[in-house]
Amino acid sequence: MTDKKKIPETTWVYSDAVKDHFFNPRNFMSDKDEKKYKEDGLGYVGSPECGDMMKIWIKVDKEKEIIKDIKWSTFGCASAIASTSMMSEMVKGMKLSEALKITPHDIMKKLGGLPKIKVHCSVLGDKALRSAINDYYKRNDQEDKIIKEKKQIVCTCLNVSDHDIEEAVLEGAYTFEKVQHKTKVGTGCGRCIPRVKKLIKMYKEKHFGED
């Protein structure tokens, strides 16, 4: 006899905080407001053609370099909406240098967690925020403050870098097999595989607080 009380494995259980931020998103940019909003920095990631897309506007107190206002819009799912809503509340009033340190793990902790299959959705707002802050620095001749990531080639056969692997993990590839499917890393000579596995573990812990 089937236990009717058993929750199917495909059921996603969301926290009250996730539901609240999804149904009542904070700092959302309406089409009407966008036309008259004068931002100091604008950032976006993704594209509507490929699926999820996130766009973020920020206003900055230039003397204190504090985010005094933030707006966002997205074509993303419920988890992306809730994550970005929460993130926007977290960084308002925060120094730019501190806001750049916000990670998907920080956002998920505030939300009380996300279903594993939806964890990567917390990345969209985080990445778009960094893009908006970097845009602010560019507009104000402070490009020296932009942290430029240095790439290292991990798989010389396929020219796959550590940055490519990190991006794959951020987009939801949590196992070597999934990262390999996404990047083709290790499909040549295979000598890079041990290092790739270590990088995957490191990036999971860095961004999502799990090994």
Per-residue confidence of the chain (211 residues) as pLDDT tens digits? 444 444 444 455 788 998 999 999 999 999 888 989 999 999 988 765 555 688 999 999 999 999 999 999 988 788 889 999 999 999 999 999 999 998 888 888 899 887 777 777 777 888 899 999 999 999 999 999 987 777 899 999 989 999 899 888 888 888 999 999 999 999 999 999 999 999 999 988 888 776 6
- Looking at the fold, whether 138 and 166 belong to one and the same domain comes out as no
192 is catalytic: no
Listed residue (195, 204, 164) closest to 181, CA to CA: 164
The contacts of residue 60 (CB under 8 Å, 6+ apart) are 40, 41, 66, 67, 68, 96, 136
Structural domain containing residue 203: 153-208
- Specify if 4 maps to a domain: no
Backbone angles phi, psi at 59, to 5 degrees: -115, 140
Rounded to an integer, what distance in angstroms lies between the CA atom of residue 113 and that of residue 140? 37
Q: What is the DSSP letter of 30?
A: P
Residues 96 and 157 occupy one common structural domain: no
Q: Among 103, 119, 145, which residue terminates a domain?
A: 145
Same domain? For 65 and 141 the reply is yes
**Contact 172/121 with Cβ under 8 angstroms?**
no
Which one from 50, 77, 189, 192 is the annotated catalytic residue?
50
| Lookup: tokens for 116 | 């594993």
Q: Is residue 68 part of a domain?
A: yes
Same domain (yes/no): 81, 128 = yes
3-state secondary structure of 162: helix
Q: Flag whether 108 is in a domain.
A: yes
pTM here?
A: 0.76
**Do the domain assignments include residue 7?**
no
Active site residue 155: no
Smallest CA-to-CA distance from 56 within 67, 77, 41 is with 41
204: tokens are 């999971």
